[in-house]
A and B are shown apart, each in its own frame.
Chain A
Amino acid sequence: MTPLLQVKNLAKMYGARIGCTDVSFDLYPGEVMGIVGESGSGKSTLLNSMAGHLTPDRGEVIFDTRADGPVDTVTMSEPARRMLGRTDWAFVHQHARDGLRMSVSAGGNIGERLMAVGDRNYGNIRARAADWLGRVEIAESRIDDRPSAFSGGMQQRLQIARNLVTGPRLVFMDEPTGGLDVSVQARLLDLLRNLVREMGLSAIIVTHDLAVVRLLADRLMVMKDGRVVETGLTDQVLDDPQHAYTQLLVSSVLQV
């Protein structure tokens, strides 16, 4: 099987300072990978470098495109990369306002990607928006409300619907449950798990919450000072951590 994403020796520098470096891994279709580490460990830099929001200094990010097979997205043309960002890729921001148009209705937010790829049938766009509102458990009657009238958890679910409506194959998530109440978090986690399974999504989730990755991620990558210090099965890394830093990280989690 061809990996959906192959990252090879990816590095991003901020001047002389390391953002992230020497990152390599393969992600296969349907796999969910977690990236954990403390603030400043380079996990968000890595995510943004992979998703094309930052330009890496070295390395390749090879995506298995539908049309042409594996292509390095770092060197591909900007229009092609942006097109990928609207179709096969999705990016869920930690703060919903970074990923939503706050002055546009919920339906318009979901419909934008459809219109961006050429859907010109209002009835069809609206029906799909309504369907996705249902799938992320937002009442259809809220379709014409603006996200500013939504709670934090609803905004985050709307952001997910907006991202998944075009049926992407790879989702980047930056702390998707950060800043939410635990009850809202649980609901979102359940939703994400079901969507991942139903749609066969591959996902890369950056978080500092080990409980989140235990429930969502198949595999784990632990980062410290811009480098990957440990990788493996999520439960193996968490239950039998090999690296000193991972052991410290796991043992530092507060027990409820």
Chain B
Amino acid sequence: MSDYNFAYLDEQTKRMIRRAILKGLAVPGYQVPFASREMPMPYGWGTGGVQVSAATLTPEDTLKVIDQGADDTTNAVSIRKFFENTAGVATTEETEKASVIQTRHRIPEAELSEDQILVYQVPIPEPLRFLEPRETETRKMHALQEYGLMHVKLYEDISQHGAIATSYAYPVKVAGRYVTDPSPIPKFDNPKMNMAAIQLFGAGREQRIYAVPPYTEVVSLDFEDFPFEASKADHPCDLCAAEDSYLDEVILDDAGNRMFVCSDTDYCRSRRDAGHMGRLSEEAA
């Protein structure tokens, strides 16, 4: 144990953040302002998610941290270590064993359960920012449900690319009310947002928290004649042969050889442990 207060933040701050979280859960998709604290890491490294996790964690929790699906990247390792040091909570890389999962830009492939909490790191919480820079105006647009502008963005996509080219941070409507930024997850993950776990979103620099309660309807915006499609690379995983997981493309050499692997490292590992073999399994192993 360390000399830090549990999970770094003082109790007053955690209470303030919990109030914001509860309000967010009460008004699904609504961006609740909160007094974001300086954290011992730069903005853009997950300060919002870390504060939400800190306010959510209890000593009995088991924490998993992923960055783009991986447990072993710098960002994920750093945040996991941070909470090991400041909260002394157990950590894991296995999705099923975690009670709190902090994520940057992915939703785990394994289906989450009612006793889990998924904490997203959010860079820009305002989905309307791209088209309307004035915060006073976007708040009014949310209040009055004036969401035509969001479709203008999708219209622009189709007119320029022939299809909705937005592939991540694809806007959703939560509980039929607020248009919400799902954080930069691939749109492949959007349908998974209709889940049993609690979803909390923290944006540190922008000082906003929002939430999606369990079993809340989350709909991806689209046009009648250009319906939403949860796309992924048209390949099986080269390591575990999964057909249903989101894949990263990895360039192997200067000759243009490449491989596709699950972005969710835990999912891929557990499949390989169960004996699934991909195209490049031997060489990779």
- Is A78 interfacial (CB 8 A cutoff)? yes
- Is A120 interfacial (CB 8 A cutoff)? yes
Residues of chain B within 8 A of A125, CB atoms compared: 155
Residues of chain A within 8 A of B234, CB atoms compared: none
- Is A208 interfacial (CB 8 A cutoff)? no
- Is B160 interfacial (CB 8 A cutoff)? yes
The distance in angstroms between the C-alpha atoms of A49 and B226, with both chains bound, is 41
Identify which of B144, B146, B151, B159 contacts A107 (C-beta below 8 A): B159
- Is B110 interfacial (CB 8 A cutoff)? no
Residues of chain B within 8 A of A82, CB atoms compared: 144, 146
Q: Do B155 and A120 touch across chains, with their CB atoms under 8 A apart?
A: no
- Is A104 interfacial (CB 8 A cutoff)? yes
Distance (whole angstroms) from the CB of B145 to the closest CB of chain A:
8
Query: Binary interface profile of B, 17-30, with partner A (CB < 8 Å = 1, else 0)?
Result: 00000000000000
Most B Cβ at <10 Å: residue of A115, A117, A143: A115
- Is B156 interfacial (CB 8 A cutoff)? yes
Residues of chain B within 8 A of A117, CB atoms compared: 148
Query: Binary interface profile of B, 221-251, with partner A (CB < 8 Å = 1, else 0)?
Result: 0111110000000000000000000000000
Q: Do A113 and B156 touch across chains, with their CB atoms under 8 A apart?
A: no
Chain A, Cβ-Cβ closest to B159: A144
Most A Cβ at <10 Å: residue of B146, B158, B159: B159
Q: Do B158 and A104 touch across chains, with their CB atoms under 8 A apart?
A: no
Main secondary structure of the interface of A (DSSP, over half): helix
Identify which of A86, A108, A120, A143 contacts B224 (C-beta below 8 A): A120
Chain A, Cβ-Cβ closest to B133: A103
Identify which of A103, A113, A115 contacts B155 (C-beta below 8 A): A115
Q: Do B144 and A108 touch across chains, with their CB atoms under 8 A apart?
A: no
Q: A79-B144, A82-B144 are in contact. Are A111 and B223 (CB under 8 A)?
A: no
- Is B90 interfacial (CB 8 A cutoff)? no
Residues of chain B within 8 A of A108, CB atoms compared: 152, 155-156, 159
The distance in angstroms between the C-alpha atoms of A162 and B248, with both chains bound, is 42
Query: Binary interface profile of B, 174-207, with partner A (CB < 8 Å = 1, else 0)?
Result: 0000000000000000000000000000000000
- Is A105 interfacial (CB 8 A cutoff)? yes
Interface size classification for chain B = 10 to 19
The distance in angstroms between the C-alpha atoms of A80 and B144, with both chains bound, is 9
Distance (whole angstroms) from the CB of A162 to the closest CB of chain B:
11
Distance (whole angstroms) from the CB of A87 to the closest CB of chain B:
11
Query: Binary interface profile of A, 117-145, with partner B (CB < 8 Å = 1, else 0)?
Result: 10011110110000000000000000110
- Is A8 interfacial (CB 8 A cutoff)? no
Residues of chain B within 8 A of A101, CB atoms compared: 131, 152
Q: Do A122 and B146 touch across chains, with their CB atoms under 8 A apart?
A: no
The distance in angstroms between the C-alpha atoms of A121 and B222, with both chains bound, is 9
Chain A, Cβ-Cβ closest to B154: A122
Q: Do B224 and A121 touch across chains, with their CB atoms under 8 A apart?
A: yes
Q: Do B159 and A126 touch across chains, with their CB atoms under 8 A apart?
A: yes
Residues of chain A within 8 A of B131, CB atoms compared: 101, 103-104
Q: Do B223 and A116 touch across chains, with their CB atoms under 8 A apart?
A: no
The distance in angstroms between the C-alpha atoms of A121 and B154, with both chains bound, is 11
- Is A112 interfacial (CB 8 A cutoff)? yes
The distance in angstroms between the C-alpha atoms of A120 and B149, with both chains bound, is 12
Q: Do A143 and B159 touch across chains, with their CB atoms under 8 A apart?
A: yes
Identify which of A78, A79, A120 contacts B151 (C-beta below 8 A): A120
Identify which of A104, A123, A144 contacts B152 (C-beta below 8 A): A104
Q: Do B146 and A116 touch across chains, with their CB atoms under 8 A apart?
A: yes
Identify which of B144, B149, B156, B226 contacts A105 (C-beta below 8 A): B156
Query: Binary interface profile of B, 43-72, with partner A (CB < 8 Å = 1, else 0)?
Result: 000000000000000000000000000000
Distance (whole angstroms) from the CB of A102 to the closest CB of chain B:
11
Residues of chain B within 8 A of A115, CB atoms compared: 148-149, 151-152, 155
The distance in angstroms between the C-alpha atoms of A110 and B210, with both chains bound, is 33
The distance in angstroms between the C-alpha atoms of A237 and B18, with both chains bound, is 68
Identify which of B144, B160, B223 contacts A120 (C-beta below 8 A): B223
Distance (whole angstroms) from the CB of B16 to the closest CB of chain A:
31
The distance in angstroms between the C-alpha atoms of A80 and B158, with both chains bound, is 31
The 7 A-B residue pairs with the shortest CB-CB distance, nearest first, are A116-B148, A115-B151, A115-B148, A122-B223, A79-B144, A121-B224, A108-B152
Can you offer 21 A-B residue contacts whose CB atoms are under 8 A?
Answer: A78-B144, A79-B144, A86-B146, A101-B131, A101-B152, A103-B131, A104-B156, A105-B160, A107-B155, A108-B155, A108-B156, A112-B149, A112-B152, A114-B148, A115-B155, A117-B148, A120-B151, A120-B222, A120-B224, A143-B159, A144-B159
On A, residues with C-beta under 8 Å from B are 78-79, 82, 86, 101, 103-105, 107-108, 111-117, 120-123, 125-126, 143-144
Known: A86-B146, A116-B146. 5 other contacts (CB 8 A): A104-B131, A114-B148, A115-B149, A122-B158, A144-B159
